[in-house]
Every structure is written in structure tokens, then in C-alpha cells.
Structure 1
């Protein structure tokens, strides 16, 4: 998978896995890594799927309707890529925290839904429920921040609350943060995520 890896100044910090939204690239979320933790290593990945020329992490049948077979395939593909990248770059495979926006947040959530050890935690900006009707692995010890919009036309508040409930039922610790600016990624929610991360790092990642 096309990607950028940058080794950080503090190897004890989680490696930040950056996952862009539809039409983005591996460059899009680099500023977020700096805002959340400028000492951490980061691995920024470009999605392998093209939709009308726009990179995505998995196919969809329509807006808000996922191709679930492709979602599972691409989730497994990304998980395997993380295994390989950890070996290539020498970062701790068990200490990865995903930062995803929209489509990137959905594939990050799918990693949590399908692979117990894929992520230590995640910051999910405007995610949807990746797949319904499956039993999630035990996510005890995982921490998740969800940024959602009260008037998001793509991801309804009901969807955001459902995702939180599913993760909490699987024993993840979840914080849900609300903004009132639709589906776009806002500076305010990134700053809220950074505050959550710093608190979590001080309390849990030592």
C-alpha cells in the first residue's frame, strides 16, 4: 500500500496510523499527527480502491451503503500491511493508534470490529458503523474517541450513538464528542481529540 512512514522522537509513544477520507491521499492527515502528538511516529496510508478516480479504503454500493465483502477483504489487507510495516520499520505492532476521517475512520473501526489486536486505540472523525450483525472481539483495554456532527448529513447522530454502544458493549472505553458543523473535519474536534489523547497517554500509555 502506498504510504509515508516517519519515525518519531519518542519510541514509547503509539505509532499513529493516519487514514484519509474519500478522495484524500497519504498527505491529508499529516497535520493532525502534529497536532495530536508531534513526538510520535506516524504511518500514513493511501487507500487501494478508486471510486471515480478518488482513493478510498474499500468500495461502496452507494453513499452510506458499504460493499461489505470488499470491506472485510480490505480490512484484512490493511491489517496484514500493518504487520509487514511493523517488521520493516521496527515499530511496536501492539502499540498503534489510528486517526481516521470519514472513509478512513470507517476502515479503522472495521479493524476494531474484526481484529482484536490490530489497534491499541483510535480517533475516529465522523465514522459510521462498519458492519452490523457480527460479534465484536473483546476490546478491553482499547480506547476510542469519536468526533461526530449533530447535523452530519452522511452520518446521523443515531449512527454515532450506535457505534459508541457497540464498542462499549465490546468493553472498549469510548468518548463521543459532538460538533455542529456537518460532516467536515473541524479544528475544534481535532483539538478535542488531542486533549483526549494527552489525557489517555498520561493515564494509560506509560
Structure 2
């Protein structure tokens, strides 16, 4: 993969020895959408924010879906591999510490972040995922070792798009593979609730990335 294969925004760290946040937007958004989230979640961190390459009726996505809530899992696997390769290229191009990359995403981007964890262990030091579900629908992920990975999951109990059952299934899959998991549920729907963001910021600060 070449760095130009994804339109992206790169913002260098404003604090010395800060980690890098890989920001993955939701359906219909772009590389600018989650920059405020990145700045709020980890002030001073470097921000690497690419744009998904799948076009669904004019909306940017990270992988195809067959219909609402039903993923094209083969496409997800392929495109997650491409994103993992591109992230490695960005690490080299921007001189990043490969052991201090943390992904954060919302909805489609959060599902993609979860797929990166499960399919490419060792790529990421951690993840803060909002409205994420188990990405490999109908498949049990390989028994990878995520014991060195810290993960925050923020989920809505009333979410009609990423159901709480799917969110809890992802949590189980991550725990069973050794991830250090912090799960936070809010009573709302498909949103990034302010109190969950506050909890995520505290989690990030305490994780020592």
C-alpha cells in the first residue's frame, strides 16, 4: 500500500512522546469528522485520520454491507488487511512509534477498528471504540493473543443499528483473547454519549499509551 491510497489528514503530536490516534469515521463521514474526537480523547496526541474507500450511494464506508446490519464479511477482511498495510506504511512515512498506535472509531469505523484488533493482532496498542459490534458476523475469530492490548467499548443499550447484543458479543470475543477491556453502556442509541466520551478520556489517560 502507498500512503496516497487513502485520502487522509495527518496532525503531528503537540506534546513530546505522545501516542498516535488512528481515527476511523462512521458511514457517510470523512477524514475530518473524528478530528474533534481525537483532540478530546487524547489532547496532544498525533492524529492519523484516513477516509474509507468504499462508496455506498455516495457515502464513505470502510467495507461493503449486503444490507443494513449485514456485513459483506469477505470484503471486510480484505479491506481491513489493506488498512492494516496502509497503517504500517504511515508509521514508516511519518516516523511513528509502531508500538504506540491506538485506534478510535465510531459505528462503521468502530467495527473496522475491532476487525483490526481481531485480524491483525500486534498492529495496535489499544482501541477506543464507540457503537461497535462483533465484525465477523457468523464467524468466531481466530484465537489470537490480545493480552498486550487495552480496549474501551462505549455502547448504547437502545442502539437500533449496533445492537447491545452485538456489542456484548464483541466484548466477549476480546476478553476471551486476553484484551484488557473496559466496557461502558449508556441508555441511549447510536451515538457517542458525552458521559461515555468523558469515561473514555479517563481510560485513555490511565492506560499509559
Is the pair's TM-score, using the shorter chain for normalization, greater than 0.5?
A: yes
Q: State which of 45, 48, 51 in structure 2 corresponds to 1:46.
A: 51
TM-score, structure 2 length as denominator? 0.93
Matching residue within 9, 34, 50 for 1:4: 9
The aligned counterpart of 1:182 is: 189
Q: Corresponding residue for 1:108?
A: 113
Pairs within 5 Å for 1:132-143: 132-143=139-150
C-alpha distance in 2 between matches for 1:84 and 1:200: 25
Q: Which residue of 2 aligns with 1:79?
A: 84
> Is the Cα–Cα contact under 8 Å of residues 18 and 43 in structure 1 kept in the other structure?
yes
In structure 2, list runs of 5 or more residues that go unmatched: 1-5
Asked whether the 8 Å contact 2:133–2:168 carries over to 1, the reply is no
Equivalent pairs counted in the alignment come to 202
Displacement over 4 Å in runs of 4+: none
Partner of 2:3: none
Distance 2:148 2:141 in 1: 20
Aligned pairs for 1:13-28 (under 5 A) are 13-28=18-33
Shift of the alpha carbon at 1:100?
0.3
* Structure 1 segments unaligned to the other structure (5+ residues): none
State the alpha-carbon separation in 1 of the partners of residues 143 and 111 from structure 2.
15
